[in-house]
Amino acid sequence: MNSRMSFGRRSKPKRHFIMPALRQAAPIGSKYVEPVTECHWRCKLCKGDILAAVISAGAIRHFRATHPDELENMQYELCKARLERVSDGCMEFVHPQLIECLVCNMTYALHKPFNMCRAIRHLKSKHPDMMPEYAGMRDR
Protein backbone atom coordinates (compact mmCIF):
# COMPACT_ATOMS: atom_id res chain seq x y z
CA MET A 1 0.00 0.00 0.00
CA ASN A 2 2.13 2.82 -1.29
CA SER A 3 -0.61 5.38 -1.79
CA ARG A 4 -3.95 6.31 -0.32
CA MET A 5 -5.54 6.03 -3.75
CA SER A 6 -7.34 2.73 -4.05
CA PHE A 7 -7.23 3.00 -7.84
CA GLY A 8 -4.12 3.71 -9.85
CA ARG A 9 -3.71 4.80 -13.42
CA ARG A 10 -6.79 4.24 -15.62
CA SER A 11 -8.89 3.33 -12.57
CA LYS A 12 -7.42 -0.14 -12.13
CA PRO A 13 -7.36 -1.43 -8.58
CA LYS A 14 -3.86 -1.50 -7.14
CA ARG A 15 -2.36 -4.89 -6.52
CA HIS A 16 -1.35 -5.92 -3.04
CA PHE A 17 1.91 -7.80 -2.80
CA ILE A 18 1.54 -11.11 -0.98
CA MET A 19 4.69 -12.72 0.34
CA PRO A 20 5.22 -16.06 -1.46
CA ALA A 21 5.90 -17.71 1.90
CA LEU A 22 2.23 -17.18 2.83
CA ARG A 23 1.22 -19.53 0.03
CA GLN A 24 3.77 -22.26 0.81
CA ALA A 25 2.89 -25.26 2.92
CA ALA A 26 4.69 -28.49 3.61
CA PRO A 27 2.40 -31.50 3.17
CA ILE A 28 1.65 -33.10 6.54
CA GLY A 29 2.69 -36.75 6.70
CA SER A 30 4.22 -36.58 3.23
CA LYS A 31 5.99 -39.58 1.77
CA TYR A 32 8.03 -37.27 -0.50
CA VAL A 33 9.36 -34.30 1.51
CA GLU A 34 9.95 -33.27 5.09
CA PRO A 35 10.33 -29.63 6.14
CA VAL A 36 13.56 -28.59 7.84
CA THR A 37 12.97 -24.83 7.79
CA GLU A 38 10.67 -22.52 5.83
CA CYS A 39 13.02 -22.48 2.80
CA HIS A 40 14.69 -25.86 3.30
CA TRP A 41 13.05 -29.23 2.77
CA ARG A 42 14.58 -32.70 2.57
CA CYS A 43 13.60 -35.26 -0.05
CA LYS A 44 12.52 -38.50 1.65
CA LEU A 45 13.33 -40.59 -1.44
CA CYS A 46 17.00 -39.64 -1.90
CA LYS A 47 17.65 -37.69 1.34
CA GLY A 48 18.71 -34.71 -0.82
CA ASP A 49 18.35 -31.14 0.37
CA ILE A 50 15.87 -28.86 -1.38
CA LEU A 51 16.70 -25.19 -0.90
CA ALA A 52 14.70 -22.38 -2.54
CA ALA A 53 13.11 -19.04 -1.75
CA VAL A 54 9.81 -20.36 -3.13
CA ILE A 55 10.13 -23.85 -1.71
CA SER A 56 7.31 -25.50 -3.68
CA ALA A 57 8.98 -24.47 -6.96
CA GLY A 58 12.29 -25.82 -5.66
CA ALA A 59 10.65 -29.13 -4.73
CA ILE A 60 9.03 -29.45 -8.16
CA ARG A 61 12.37 -28.66 -9.83
CA HIS A 62 14.12 -31.31 -7.68
CA PHE A 63 11.53 -33.98 -8.46
CA ARG A 64 11.48 -33.13 -12.18
CA ALA A 65 15.27 -33.61 -12.33
CA THR A 66 15.72 -36.49 -9.88
CA HIS A 67 12.43 -38.42 -9.55
CA PRO A 68 10.35 -37.75 -12.70
CA ASP A 69 8.13 -40.81 -12.11
CA GLU A 70 6.99 -39.43 -8.75
CA LEU A 71 6.56 -35.81 -9.89
CA GLU A 72 2.79 -35.88 -10.44
CA ASN A 73 2.02 -37.57 -7.11
CA MET A 74 4.31 -35.16 -5.25
CA GLN A 75 2.75 -32.16 -7.02
CA TYR A 76 -0.74 -33.34 -6.11
CA GLU A 77 0.24 -33.75 -2.45
CA LEU A 78 1.99 -30.37 -2.43
CA CYS A 79 -0.87 -28.50 -4.11
CA LYS A 80 -3.43 -30.03 -1.74
CA ALA A 81 -1.42 -28.73 1.21
CA ARG A 82 -0.95 -25.29 -0.38
CA LEU A 83 -4.64 -24.95 -1.27
CA GLU A 84 -5.67 -25.97 2.24
CA ARG A 85 -3.40 -23.30 3.71
CA VAL A 86 -4.50 -20.56 1.29
CA SER A 87 -8.21 -21.32 1.68
CA ASP A 88 -8.17 -22.15 5.39
CA GLY A 89 -9.62 -25.55 4.49
CA CYS A 90 -12.68 -24.41 2.50
CA MET A 91 -11.37 -25.62 -0.90
CA GLU A 92 -9.84 -28.92 -1.91
CA PHE A 93 -8.37 -30.68 -4.93
CA VAL A 94 -10.66 -33.39 -6.26
CA HIS A 95 -8.39 -34.20 -9.19
CA PRO A 96 -5.23 -32.54 -10.58
CA GLN A 97 -7.47 -30.48 -12.89
CA LEU A 98 -10.50 -30.03 -10.63
CA ILE A 99 -11.06 -28.13 -7.38
CA GLU A 100 -14.13 -27.93 -5.18
CA CYS A 101 -15.29 -25.05 -3.02
CA LEU A 102 -16.76 -26.60 0.13
CA VAL A 103 -18.64 -23.38 0.98
CA CYS A 104 -20.46 -23.02 -2.38
CA ASN A 105 -20.46 -26.78 -3.16
CA MET A 106 -19.24 -25.96 -6.67
CA THR A 107 -16.44 -27.54 -8.66
CA TYR A 108 -14.12 -25.62 -10.95
CA ALA A 109 -11.96 -26.96 -13.75
CA LEU A 110 -8.39 -25.71 -13.83
CA HIS A 111 -6.75 -24.37 -17.00
CA LYS A 112 -3.62 -26.43 -16.38
CA PRO A 113 -3.07 -29.28 -13.92
CA PHE A 114 -2.19 -28.04 -10.42
CA ASN A 115 -2.63 -24.35 -11.39
CA MET A 116 -4.41 -22.80 -8.40
CA CYS A 117 -5.03 -19.36 -9.94
CA ARG A 118 -8.73 -20.07 -10.45
CA ALA A 119 -9.10 -21.22 -6.84
CA ILE A 120 -7.38 -18.09 -5.53
CA ARG A 121 -9.49 -15.83 -7.78
CA HIS A 122 -12.68 -17.52 -6.54
CA LEU A 123 -11.63 -17.15 -2.91
CA LYS A 124 -10.66 -13.49 -3.31
CA SER A 125 -13.96 -12.59 -4.96
CA LYS A 126 -16.44 -14.81 -3.08
CA HIS A 127 -14.86 -15.71 0.27
CA PRO A 128 -12.05 -13.26 1.16
CA ASP A 129 -12.74 -13.84 4.86
CA MET A 130 -11.64 -17.47 4.37
CA MET A 131 -8.16 -16.44 3.19
CA PRO A 132 -5.75 -15.99 6.10
CA GLU A 133 -3.39 -13.88 3.97
CA TYR A 134 -6.07 -11.24 3.35
CA ALA A 135 -7.20 -10.97 6.96
CA GLY A 136 -7.44 -7.29 7.80
CA MET A 137 -6.91 -6.05 4.22
CA ARG A 138 -10.59 -5.25 3.64
CA ASP A 139 -10.38 -2.38 6.16
CA ARG A 140 -7.79 -0.51 4.16
Q: What is the mean pLDDT of residues 91-120?
A: 89
List the domain range (segments joined by +) for residue 75. Answer: 9-134
How many structural domains comprise the chain? 1
pLDDT at residue number 67:
95
Residue 39 lies in a domain: yes
pLDDT at residue number 16:
64
pLDDT at residue number 139:
43
pLDDT at residue number 88:
84
Angle 39-71-52 from CA coordinates, rounded to 5°: 15
Question: Residue 13 forms beta bridges with which residues?
Answer: 7
Residue 126 lies in a domain: yes
pLDDT at residue number 129:
83
Residue 75 lies in a domain: yes
pLDDT at residue number 111:
86
Residue 41 lies in a domain: yes
Residue 90 lies in a domain: yes
Residue 1 lies in a domain: no
Comparison of pLDDT for 81 and 9, the residue scoring more: 81
Residue 49 lies in a domain: yes
Q: Which long-range contacts (CB under 8 A, 24 or more apart) does 113-119 make?
A: 113/72, 113/75, 114/75, 114/76, 114/79, 116/79, 116/82, 116/83, 116/86, 119/83, 119/86, 119/87, 119/91
* 18-31 pLDDT, tens digit each: 666 667 888 889 99
Residue 86 lies in a domain: yes
Query: For 92, which DSSP code?
Result: E
- Beta-strand ranges (E) seen in 5-115 are 33-37, 40-43, 49-51, 91-95, 98-101, 106-109
Q: How confident is the model at residue 1 (pLDDT cuts 50, 70, 90)?
A: very low
* 38-85 pLDDT, tens digit each: 889 999 999 999 998 888 899 999 999 999 999 999 999 998 988 888
Question: Residue 24 forms beta bridges with which residues?
Answer: none
